[in-house]
Structure 1
Amino acid sequence: MTKTDVSITIGVLAKRAGVNVETIRFYQRKGLLAEPDKPYGSIRRYADTDVARVQFVKSAQRLGFSLDEVADLLRLDQCADCEQARHLAEYKLGMVREKLADLTRMETALVQLVTACQTAGNAEVSCPLIASLKR
């Protein structure tokens, strides 16, 4: 760390990044965040750049990137390879669109089943929802 870096504890890092301490440790085990040296008889200190890195990881996760994909993005950031980052984002966008299509199909099927349940008021007839799930 340089003298301009603010030296903060893991607890402060977690609070500033909006995560808990165990998340920081997990990211360190996964290689997403470096674990600083621990001076003899003291505690590890982190920099503001570490806060930004954790926030980057969380932002990427909110966009649906896995931790392995986040690691790829972090490596690409170091070499400023925008084209590869774009390819990764295009792949992720395709996956999101597939999930949306699946969710739309699920929604359509559930709307039909809910409607069928509402119109099946006869107690002698099996519930259309349960009957369709048995098939």
Structure 2
Amino acid sequence: MTGDFLAIGELGRKTDTKVETIRYYERIGLLAAPRRTPGNYRAYGPEHLNRLSFIRRSRDLGFSLDQVRALLGLADQRDRSCDAVDAIAKEHRAEVDRKIADLRALRRELDSMIDQCRCGTVADCRIIEALSPTAPAAS
């Protein structure tokens, strides 16, 4: 594509985003629909590249689509206080902390199962026993 405009494939390559994901973001309103060429191809401008890069970075950091939508809305209000942005980031950090705690508990349970393994036969395997639906829940 010529000029300052990108075809959807080029936009996808520049942002490491699949074409179908770009179309999805358009459908749900995160990314504005681009203008069309005379041949009816999508013609994305620098604003699309910047916005999609913002969306991708936010998603890479684990923000939900609703949080990304809120962040985008706030990013468009440059003179506003960033208190709302901070609140969204703090809420997300709390979610990450909960997930980390859950993963640490999972790690302890797996360590316990592995430590109990006697490395005998599968018939006597403590890991298989712990995974069995009749096994008592570990505490």
Deviations 1:58-92 (A, max 9, x none): 11111110111101100011113411010000000
Distance in 2 between residues matched to 1:115 and 1:60, nearest whole Å: 39
Residue 11 (1) aligns with residue 9 (2) = yes
Partner of 1:28: 26
Say whether the 8 Å CA contact 1:114–1:129 is kept in structure 2: yes
- Aligned residue for 2:92? 92
Cα contact 2:58–2:68 (8 A) shared by 1: yes
Shift of 1:124: 9.5
- How many angstroms apart in 1 are the aligned matches of 2:65 and 2:14? 20
Matched, 1:65 2:72: no
Secondary structure of residue in 1 paired with 2:124 = coil
The 1:115–1:75 alpha-carbon spacing in structure 2 relative to 1, beyond 3 Å, is same
Return the TM-score normalized by structure 2.
0.82
Q: Percent identity?
A: 33
In the alignment of these two chains, the number of paired residues is: 129
Instruction: Give 4+ residue runs of structure 1 displaced > 3 Å after superposition.
Output: 39-42, 121-126
CA deviation digits over 1:14-59, x for unaligned, max 9? 1111112111101101111011232554422111221111111111
TM-score (norm 1): 0.84
Q: Distance in 2 between matches of 1:7 and 1:122?
A: 64
How far the C-alpha of 1:130 sits from its partner, in A, is 2.5
Structure with greater helix percent: 1
Structure 1's unaligned 5+ residue stretches are none
Check conservation: 1:11, 1:21, Cα contact below 8 A.
yes
Alpha-carbon offset, residue 97 of structure 1: 0.5
Which residue in the other structure is 2:53 paired with? 55
Aligned-residue CA RMSD in angstroms?
2.0
